[in-house]
Chain A
Amino acid sequence: MKDMLSPWQALWELLRWAKRPFAALFPPVLSEHADGVDSFYMFLVGMSTFFSLLIAGLIVFFAVRYARGRKADRTRPPESNLVLEIVWSTVPLVLSVVIFFWGARLYLRLFTEPLGGYGEVVYVVGKQWMWKVQHPQGPMEIGALHAPMGIPIRLVMTSQDVIHDFSIPALRIKRDVVPGRYTSLWFQATRTGEFPIYCSEYCGTLHSQMLGKLVIQSPAAYAAWLAQGAAAGTAIQAGERLFTSLGCGGCHGAEGGAIRAPQLAGIFGRPVPLQSDGFATADEAYLRESILFPGRKVVAGYAPVMPTFAGQINEEQMVELIAYLRSLRLP
């Protein structure tokens, strides 16, 4: 043998092998993460089956062995047994620690930016009862999410009304979509195809109809799809029109001359110094807050003169504006 399997890999292969006969009981596997979650699940199913059968077996065995009226040795039944009790407290403890770390490892991966960064950011707005998906460089979709295979995609999500949840069983991921804040998810699909998207947080009458499909394409097909859709207008273009029509450029644009308000080109993702000490990162949450509640985190050196836009733009327009701001590069 050229290279020996590490015990970890051996366990991994064993779990994958054990899963094979039960493939019909698993959703399609669309990512490495999904594969990892399945293996973890198989481990837990195996462990649970073992303990359930152990307990059930002991109960049945004792119930038969010590059935009333049946001859058996019942002299001095033990009232406790320290060694036994230490064992059956320690075994669950050790298993719990293993499960905790295994689960935490899979979880933290969902919050960690992949090496090399995200290939693309897509904005998702949930509203009763539909998903609106906006590609900065492409079209707006309703009830569908197109994405390229093999490239890490980050979803930035919010809700126009109540709490929803963007759930993709094929990727084994979901996240609540909460009004008033942005939550995010990322994934990297390993094959092409169409997979269901569900709303998984109860959101009212047609909760069960708030469906969508995830369409994974080859990067080339995706690029073609994006370009075709872009002809009808992109989120960035919509954001630019909003920027103009709301008169943002009067202070923030080139003609504002950076006197009354900060220049916005290149600001996205950067730390900005605040009037009230400290810094804020100019991410989606900060930009949204500053548009709706401009007085909260004023950039150092500027007077708090910006009017609020709360009530004037909805969440879809907000993500268009953000897509536009994000696209602005320093000249």
Chain B
Amino acid sequence: MNNIASMPASPPAEAARLPARHYLNEAHTLRSWFLTTDHKRIALLFLASITVFFLIAGVAALLMRLELLTPEGDLVQAETYNRLFTLHGVLMVWFFLIPSIPTVLGNFAIPMMLGARDLAFPRLNLISWYLFVGGGTLTLYSLIKGGVDTGWTFYTPYSTLYSNSAVLSTVAGVFVSGFSSILTGLNFIVTIHTLRARGLTWFRLPLFIWSMYATSLILVLATPVLAITLLLLAMERFFGFGFFDPRLGGDPLLFQHLFWFYSHPAVYIMILPGMGVVSELVAAFSRRRVFGYKVVAFSSLAIAVYGFLVWGHHMFVAGQSPYAGLVFSALSYLVAIPSAIKVFNWTATLYKGDISLDTPMLYALGFIGLFTIGGLTGLFLAALGLDVHLTDTYFVVAHFHFIMVGGMVMGYLGGIHYWWPKISGRLYTEWMGRFSAITAFVGFNLTFLPQFLAGYLGMPRRYWAYAPEYQVLNVMSTLGASILGVAYAFPLIYLTWSFWKGQVAGPNPWEATGLEWRTPSPPPTHNFETPPRVTGEAYERSHAARGEA
């Protein structure tokens, strides 16, 4: 076993003991956690809450996959199935994916990567967590009331007039949690502008910071549109205002335009942070600068900007004009280019690197592979004539899971494993980490590759029962999902264990370059004893540290 602790650069004396005082043992009362303004503790609060949502949404997914093991609808009722996929979508999108990397890894790492003591607005950060938990509670309350059956997209007029389910409390939950997103985004933007250490110029920032900056722009600019849209929906459902219902003079397509004007940029909230993490991981485990630093940085911003211009590609068959379709298709290809450039840059970073395949790196390489497939299949869907056949089928389901699960969740887990020694001060058992990363990759492909094929064969999404000819592919998918379930449950166990019992990590077990690695693990509450000064470029290491063979 290639044990991290045996690496030459970690002096054994230092690795033996945790620092005497750090942010975790500063205080132990409940009050010291629930009223904390320490970004690191708030990150852990978010970590615990999104893990709960991930588990609930994951169980919903497994129940769906079990139902789909046979063509007949036999395990659950159709109504239950519809509530399951809505629950899965709503929780995964708004209560796991969107907050995942920003609120946990962003909260934890951004101030330290900048050499700051905390975010610019520590109390706002705490409010953000309370809003998030409040919104999540409202959404879970809908679950107790029997759940929602609209799908996470809340399309009208189904959601406003026809659904007999807890639409209002769910929408209210998403609405409230949106303010959490806005506050977090605002906090990050201000922090990145104002709290950089001396010498840390914009082009010396780690690429994770660039991607979080781009993400924050989207959070702040797009989320209000979602809030307005959900408000209109609630007004129509509750008071009968005619915004979307044609019988009241409304237009159901208006809802789709407004919804996707938020939700397409939101897709980039669900991938840009993952890209940022992968840039860090590839640099750290190849021990060299990311190839084409500035291009990677600007491509994050380009993706964030283009993301606002392509919402109409969700509506090629919805009844919008074919000319609008042409424009949205063409613009969608613009997003493909910076995404492709990133993939090429990461790959080129490996060239002449000093590569070790530790757990975070396995997740990062898995991300690159799966994101490549997810991105390429996006080209299929942005192609008008082909999208007509593929949209609303399992092809779309497979595509966005490749981006959001193959991409974002792999990035998130890679990041968690990378910063875990900093978060906890301890190491997890390396082989367990590698085993999980590889299992997740295998399970993921087995789950979602068959769905591309089922989709091209015509299997529509959101079907509780399906034609027998799709069964073989669905059985493969369910089998894969079971493997994926194991791959996600396992880290929960060994990371929790290592939090108390793991081997002590030392300040920089990976020999990474960021400022966050220049402080003890776990860090003191104020992060740095003396404010750091930056004199070199991002990811720059001395030749001695590179360990040339």
- Let me know if A62 and B355 touch, CB within 8 A: yes
Does B76 interact with chain A (Cβ within 8 Å)? Answer: no
Does B350 interact with chain A (Cβ within 8 Å)? Answer: yes
Does B11 interact with chain A (Cβ within 8 Å)? Answer: no
Does A208 interact with chain B (Cβ within 8 Å)? Answer: yes
Complexed CA–CA distance, A84 and B353 (Å)? 18
- Let me know if A40 and B386 touch, CB within 8 A: yes
Q: Which of B317, B352, B467 contacts A74 (CB 8 A)?
A: B352
B-contacting residues, A77-94, CB 8 Å: 77-81, 84-85, 88-89, 92-93
A-contacting residues, B232-253, CB 8 Å: 246-247, 251-253
CB 8 Å contact bits of B330-357 with A (1 = contact, 0 = none): 1001001100110110011011111111
Interface size on B, residues (CB 8 A): 87
What is the distance, in angstroms, from A193's C-beta to the closest C-beta of chain B?
A: 15
What is the distance, in angstroms, from A24's C-beta to the closest C-beta of chain B?
A: 9
What is the distance, in angstroms, from B39's C-beta to the closest C-beta of chain A?
A: 32
Complexed CA–CA distance, A93 and B292 (Å)? 19
Which among B289, B383, B466, B546 has the highest number of chain A CB atoms within 10 Å? B383
- Let me know if A63 and B350 touch, CB within 8 A: yes
A-contacting residues, B372-402, CB 8 Å: 372-373, 376-377, 379-380, 382-389, 391-393
Complexed CA–CA distance, A102 and B353 (Å)? 40
Complexed CA–CA distance, A89 and B163 (Å)? 47
Taking CB atoms, residues of chain A closer than 8 Å to B518 are none
- Let me know if B344 and A88 touch, CB within 8 A: yes
Taking CB atoms, residues of chain B closer than 8 Å to A176 are 317-319
B-contacting residues, A173-222, CB 8 Å: 173-176, 178-181, 183, 196, 198-209
Complexed CA–CA distance, A63 and B366 (Å)? 13
Does A66 interact with chain B (Cβ within 8 Å)? Answer: yes
Q: Which residue of B lies closest to A107 (CB)?
A: B384
Q: Which residue of A lies closest to B292 (CB)?
A: A80
Complexed CA–CA distance, A172 and B458 (Å)? 8
Taking CB atoms, residues of chain B closer than 8 Å to A206 are 78
Complexed CA–CA distance, A69 and B436 (Å)? 24
- Let me know if B388 and A77 touch, CB within 8 A: no
- Let me know if B333 and A68 touch, CB within 8 A: no
Q: Which of B82, B253, B292, B373 contacts A85 (CB 8 A)?
A: B292
- Let me know if A66 and B457 touch, CB within 8 A: no
Taking CB atoms, residues of chain B closer than 8 Å to A69 are 549
Taking CB atoms, residues of chain B closer than 8 Å to A25 are 453, 456-457
Taking CB atoms, residues of chain B closer than 8 Å to A207 are 78, 82, 462-464
Interface CB pairs A-B, < 8 A, 25 = A25-B457, A27-B458, A48-B379, A51-B376, A55-B347, A59-B365, A59-B369, A62-B351, A62-B353, A67-B357, A68-B356, A96-B379, A104-B385, A107-B326, A107-B384, A108-B326, A110-B388, A162-B155, A162-B162, A163-B252, A179-B247, A201-B392, A207-B78, A207-B82, A208-B465
Which residues of B approach A to under 8 Å, CB–CB? 73, 78-79, 82, 149, 151, 155, 157-158, 161-163, 246-247, 251-253, 286-289, 291-293, 295, 316-319, 322, 325-326, 329-330, 333, 336-337, 340-341, 343-344, 347-348, 350-357, 365, 368-369, 372-373, 376-377, 379-380, 382-389, 391-393, 453, 456-458, 460-467, 546-549
